[in-house]
Amino acid sequence: MVILTLDTFIRHLPHRAYVKLSSLLDPGGLWENLAAKIPLNMEDIDDNDAQPRYTHQQIAVFALMGQRTGSGNSPTQRVLIDWGTRNARVSHLIKVLLRAEYYAAANYLNNDLLNLGIIPPPVNDDDPQPLPPMGDSDAIPDPKSRENQEEKDMPGGKNNPEQNSSSQNVDSLCDSFDGMSSDGGTLSDRMSCFSDHRDSVLAMEGVLLSQLRRHSLDCREDSEDGWIGLKDIEIQTIEYAMLSGVTNDFNTEPLEKGGNLVGAGGFGKVFLGKFRNGFKIAVKFLMQSESMRKEDLNLLIKQFETEVKMLSTYRHENVVHLLGYSIDGPSQCLVYQYLPNGSLEDRLSRYQGTPPLSANMRLKIVMGTAHGIRFLNDKGYVHRDIKTANILLDSEFNAKVGDFATVVSAPSGDSKTIVRATTVIGTPAYLAPEAINFDISTKLDSYSFGVVLLEVITGLPAQDNRREETTISNHIMENVEEPSEIHSFVDQSAGAWSEGAVDKLYDISMRCLIHQKRKRPNVKDILPELEEL
C-alpha cells in the first residue's frame, strides 16, 4: 500500500481520489478556474502572478474532451493527469486549490487522505460582517448594492446559462423583454442588460476586426515566410448568442436567396455573419444531435479539437484565419475570416454565374495553395484533404487552405517513416494510392495537389460520374498520350496563358500523381518551379 504524503506525485494518487476531486470540481465547471491557476513552471507555484500552464484554448479543449461519452472523460481528471506529467505533487495541488478557494477539495486531500487536519479559510477585513441588531438604521441595505448581482441573475443576464444557449437575433432581443415576468428586474435593469449585450457585440466586432488587420500586417511585414507563431495569436472565445445574432438565427436560406447559409457538408454548415459596420465573418456550425451515434459524436469533437489546436498554433497568409470559437451553445462553432470569393471549386465551375478565373488568377491561386501546403508540411503536418473545395479565395483572390479537421502529424525525415492510420480520410478523387493502406505522409498532400493542378488547367471537376473515367486524373491519363495533347483540354475561358505555363503545370501535375510514393515529390520540391511561372 502506497503511503500518501505531501510529496507524493499526483499521478500516484489512488483512483478514488481522482473520482472524488472530479465530483467536487466538474459540476459548474469549477475545474476551469483550477486549470487557470496552475503555473507553467513548478518553481512558480507560490507566485500568484505566474504565467499559467494552460491557455484559454487548451482549457476549452479539455472542456470539449469532457463532453465525449464514455468513462474517463472528466475534465478535472484530464487536467490532473496532464499536469501530473510535470511531476506535480500533492502539496502543489493543495496550494493551487487554495489559491482557487476550493477549500472542500483542498481539505479532502489534506484531511481525509493525509490526515493533516482542516485548512480553514483565511479571515480578512473584506469578509462579510455579522448583521447589526434589528432597528439599527445602518442595517437598511442600499438597493444599489445588489444592482450588479440582480443584473447577472436575471433572465438574459451575464451569468444566466439560458443566455449562452439563446438563438435570439441581436436586433430582436429588446422585444423579448416585454414577455418577462415582473420578477425579472426593473425596466431600467432589463434595458441595461440589453445595452451590455449590444456593447459586447460591438466590442467583439472591434476585437475581431483588429485581429484580422494585425494578421495581415504580421504576414506581410513581420515574417520572412509568411507565418507567425503562437505568441502572436489571440483566438477569441465568442458567445453563441452573439453568433446567432450576426447570422440571423443561423438562417438556413442560401445567400443567393437572402439567407445566411454559405455551404454545408460532412458534420457542419457554414454561415455568413454580418456586423452593423459591414464586417463579415464565416461561422462553421458543427451539427450534433442526441440521435448522433457515439462514434460520430466523438469524431466531431475530435475534429473540432484538431482545428482549434492547429489554427491556434500557427498562422500563414495562405491558411484560413481562425478568429475564434464558441462552446457555450447547443453546438460548437468555429469563426473565420469571411472569404468573399468562395472556393476554388465554385469559381472553376462558375457557380451562380460568377465570371471565369483568368490564367493569371489561376497561377496566383496555385502558387498560394502550394505555399500553404508547404507551410503545413514544414511544420510537421499532413492535411489529408487538399481539394479545390478546401481552397478558399479572399477579395483579392489570394488562396487560403482551409478545413483542418483531418490534419495529422507527419512522419519525420521527409516521409521515410511510415505512419499508419485506422481510417481512410479524404475525398476519393484526390486520394493517393497508398491512402487505402492507411499510409500517412506529406506525399498525400502532393498527390492531391496534382489533382488540383489538373482542375485548374482544364476547368473540369475532379469527379464526374458522366465520364467514362470518373476521376479527372484517370480521364487525363487515358486521353493524353503526349504532353502536348494537354492543350486540347485547356479551359478556354481562362484566356491566354503565359508561354510554357500550361506545359509546366501539366508536368508538375504528372509528377505529383506518380503512384509510387517514394518517386513522388513533396510540394516544397516543386514550389521553385511554380515560382518561375
What is d(CA 444, CA 433) in angstroms, rounded to the nearest whole number?
A: 9
Give the cell for residue 48: 500568484
Are 453 and 509 spatial neighbours (Cβ–Cβ below 8 Å)? yes
What is d(CA 233, CA 265) in angstroms, rounded to the nearest whole number?
A: 28
What is d(CA 238, CA 235) in angstroms, rounded to the nearest whole number?
A: 9
What is d(CA 42, CA 44) in angstroms, rounded to the nearest whole number?
A: 5
Dmax over Cα atoms in the chain, in whole Å?
103
Terminus-to-terminus CA distance in the chain, angstroms? 71
What is d(CA 18, CA 390) in angstroms, rounded to the nearest whole number?
A: 42
What is d(CA 301, CA 327) in angstroms, rounded to the nearest whole number?
A: 11
| Angle, in degrees to the nearest 10, between helices 443-458 and 501-512 | 150
419-420 vs 439-440, strand pairing mode: antiparallel
What is d(CA 373, CA 385) in angstroms, rounded to the nearest whole number?
A: 11
Are 473 and 479 spatial neighbours (Cβ–Cβ below 8 Å)? no
Residue bearing cell 425579472: 184
Angle at 240 between CA 238 and CA 242, to 5 degrees: 75
In terms of DSSP H, where are the helices of 392-471? 443-458
- SS3 state of residue 241: helix
Are 279 and 201 spatial neighbours (Cβ–Cβ below 8 Å)? no
Give the cell for residue 342: 468562395
Residue type, 30: L
Are 185 and 150 spatial neighbours (Cβ–Cβ below 8 Å)? yes
Radius of gyration over alpha carbons of the chain, in Å? 28
What is d(CA 29, CA 444) in angstroms, rounded to the nearest whole number?
A: 41
400 annotated ligand binder:
no
Angle at 470 between CA 469 and CA 474, to 5 degrees: 50
Residue bearing cell 468555429: 334
From the candidates 218, 385, 439, 491, which is the catalytic residue? 385
- Residue among 137, 105, 133 at smallest CA distance from 121: 105
Active site residue 296: no
- SS3 state of residue 327: coil
DSSP conformation class of 513: T
Are 263 and 270 spatial neighbours (Cβ–Cβ below 8 Å)? yes
Give the cell for residue 160: 444566466
419-420 vs 391-393, strand pairing mode: unpaired
Task: Just list the catalytic residues.
Answer: 385
List, as residue ranges, the binding site: 284
- Which residues contribute to the annotated binding site for ATP? 284
